[in-house]
A and B are shown apart, each in its own frame.
Chain A
Amino acid sequence: MKHTHLAALACCALLAGPLAVADDPSPEALAAARQVAVTTCASCHGPQGRSENPKFPRLAAQHPAYLAAQLHVFKTQGRGDPDAIAYMWGMSAPLSDELIDGLAAYYGGQKPARGIRSGAALVASGKSIYEEGVASEGIPACASCHGPDAAGTDDFPRLAGQSAQYLLKQLASFQSNMRNVAVMHGVASGLKAQEMNAVAAYLQSIGS
């Protein structure tokens, strides 16, 4: 039953927005992307995408296809959470497809940021939710999409080592549908605040 449910969710996820497939960028595009990443994106997302500010997501080691898809969604103003509107709608507007692929490859190729330690009890509780879901509330295991080690896939983002505060903000955006992704709206709507805190703490702690 759970697997059927997840399959349906995954199907919805694939239909939720344009998930561009990143092409292999040219050396010129990679060089241009590195220049942009180091001199512009790094001001918020940190050196090589290892942000220490929880307002801005860590992009290091994120899947290039996922990053490219998000940049395309920002560019078409299809993602409506407040920070997307305030920052990324503008930032993504002039990006060419080639530069998007270059940026995605740049960040995808970086060493992941070190995780952030959290309370042991919270982490244990979060790990359980991540790996097994909350059966009583029909919440599927996060691991079934984001992978057993939260490393993500082309379609589902890497969450390992991501800041808990950032993750919680995204869950709130999914819940309110400001970030309109059907799968995550369902998950976030079912999770209690304490469960969200636990999962976020666990994910943040991976690699710490």
Chain B
Amino acid sequence: MNRQHRGSTQLALAGLAIIAFAGTARAVPSFARQTGMACEACHTVFPQLTHFGRMFKANGYTLDNLKPVRGVTATRDEMLALTGLPPISLMVQASETWLARPLPDSLAAGSAQNGSVAFPQQISLFYAGKIAPQLGAFIQITYGNDTGTIGIDNADVRYANSLVLPQDRSLIYGITINNNPTVQDLWNSTPAFGFPFASTNASVSPLAATAIDGTFGQDVAGIGAYAFWNESLYAEFGAYRSAKQGATNPITGAAAPLDGTTSNVVNGVAPYYRLAWEQAWGRHSLELGVYGMDIKLYPGGSTPDAPVALTGPYNRFRDLAQDLQYQYLSDEHQVTVAATRIHEQMHLDASFASGASANAGNDLTTLRIDGTWYWRRKLGLTAALFSTTGSADAALYSADPVAPGIGVVNSATNKPDTSGWMAEVNYVPWLNVKLSLQYTAFSKFNGGGGNYDGLGRSASDNNTAYALLWFAY
């Protein structure tokens, strides 16, 4: 569900629609071309990583088995080491989505069309691979049918190096610059590369999501330093700051500096941290970890009638999460179980003062667990449970933002609670082509099971069937 949380609580606080690329996780054939290794070395099936894939990422996407184009000085100092092939990939997603019950028409009596075709849902171009020794990148540019435009998607540029320690233990260390907290993470239990790896953009998204759960993808930029000791202990610390796409300074017309007319601007920097331990035995591996973020936001959104500068009260979101990932990988069976629990404390000084929230503080807890089994990397089944619960807030969750009487995206109970399950069947005829059928069932949506919006819509009306063709080259 994480990819559906675009209309998140935090951004709704200031009435901002976040940049709307679906932000699904990726894996790219340019890595395979660069390393000369099949997808299976790094993935169970894309985009889920194996241990070797995690190490490839930690090492900065730089493992390169191609003959480079080189440049050296007279003293043999290396000046250039270009990969023999440009690390470019193309990815296409086409899909169809059915809702259990059609949405109401936004203006007239009747229903919106059901059975939404997305061709394409997304087309992405990647630069994914080595730039120079110790320097690599995963940069995605996406056209999405929801925006109808091309823009930056996930990006992670890395410097990585390694040391050999006594007793032949390794220490990989590096710096990542990225635009989506957790996109740089190595496990599929954290939000950016967690299940579902692709999801529809033609259904109904729940009201609430925590800040670290994809809410700020492509809306911030951060720099982090990390170390991975002996392929077991991973630690990272970073900080994010607003890096808005498409925002302009009203005085100069330039891309920045941001002022009060821009919504949801990070106050200072938002620290991000991550600690994880991975243990392998035989064909099994287990990861346990924590991660979190502390983000302060100025609501902004200044208008001539209601001017506000980027000073004064702000909203603060403190996210603390735990995660777990288990893998069993053989040639016949590939099993991955991933889980995370994210708890968020909201201190809504700015929103409370303006009446955008009824409480000065709220909390939100998201729990997800998913299990995937692949047979020979050909046929896959995934089952997942998801739940978000939190405190009731009459101002934050009850408003009907589209128009009175429409409902669908509001909560009659003023609660953010959403829960349910997902099932997915995958067929992978080639390792870079995937056909998926996905079903999402809600037992609770925006605080209720039946009539959650006060206008007769039930949580199960938002159950979604989604068929996807996904390939990359």
Contact = CB atoms under 8 A, between A and B. Distances in A.
Interface of A: 34-35, 37-40, 42-44, 47-48, 52-55, 82, 85-87, 89-91, 93-94, 169
Contacts, number: 70
Interface string B153-167: 000000000101000
A159 B260 CA distance: 70
Interface residues of B, number: 30
Interface in B1-50: 35-38, 40-41
Given A86-B41, A89-B36, A53 B170 contact: no
Contact of B170 (A38, A44, A87): A38
Given A39-B59, A86-B40, A90-B37, A44 B52 contact: yes
A43 B37 contact: no
Given A53-B282, A55-B329, A43 B65 contact: no
Contacts of A40: 55, 59, 63
B168 interface: yes
Given A38-B169, A47-B168, A91-B36, A55 B283 contact: yes
A86 B170 contact: no
B281 interface: yes
29 contacts: A34-B168, A35-B162, A38-B164, A38-B168, A39-B164, A39-B170, A39-B172, A40-B55, A43-B55, A44-B52, A47-B168, A48-B168, A52-B281, A53-B280, A53-B282, A55-B329, A86-B37, A86-B38, A86-B40, A90-B35, A90-B36, A90-B37, A90-B41, A91-B35, A91-B37, A93-B36, A93-B65, A93-B66, A94-B66
Given A39-B170, A52-B281, A94-B65, 4 more contacts: A40-B63, A42-B231, A47-B230, A93-B65
A163 B164 CA distance: 27
B51 A43 contact: yes
B70 interface: no
Contacts of A55: 283, 329-331
B345 to A, nearest CB: 38
A94 B52 CA distance: 18
B64 interface: yes
Given A39-B170, A86-B40, A94 B67 contact: yes
Contacts of B41: 86-87, 90
Contact of B282 (A38, A47, A52, A86): A52
Given A34-B168, A47-B169, A86-B38, A39 B65 contact: no
B310 to A, nearest CB: 45
Interface in B235-290: 280-283
Contacts of B40: 86
Nearest to B431: A86
A79 B51 CA distance: 24
A33 B464 CA distance: 53
B437 to A, nearest CB: 28
B231 A53 contact: no
- The listed residue with most A CB atoms (<10 A of its CB), out of B35, B162, B164, is B164
Nearest to B162: A39
B413 to A, nearest CB: 50
Contacts of A82: 331
A200 to B, nearest CB: 16
Given A38-B168, A47-B169, A91-B65, A52 B36 contact: no
A35 B164 contact: yes
B65 A42 contact: no
B164 A87 contact: no
A47 B232 CA distance: 12
A90 B36 CA distance: 4
Contacts of B65: 90-91, 93-94
B164 A34 contact: yes
Contacts of B330: 55
Contacts of B36: 89-91, 93
A69 B66 CA distance: 21
Interface string B401-429: 00000000000000000000000000000
Contacts of A85: 38
A28 to B, nearest CB: 14
Nearest to A37: B168
Contacts of A86: 37-38, 40-41
Contacts of B164: 34-35, 38-39
Contacts of A37: 168
Contacts of A52: 280-282
Nearest to A93: B65
Contacts of B63: 40
Contacts of A47: 168-169, 230
Interface in B45-80: 51-52, 55, 59, 63-67
Nearest to A110: B168
A95 B459 CA distance: 58
- Top 6 closest A-B pairs, CB basis? A90-B36, A86-B38, A90-B37, A39-B162, A93-B65, A43-B55
A124 B20 CA distance: 65
Contacts of A87: 37-38, 41
A85 B283 CA distance: 20
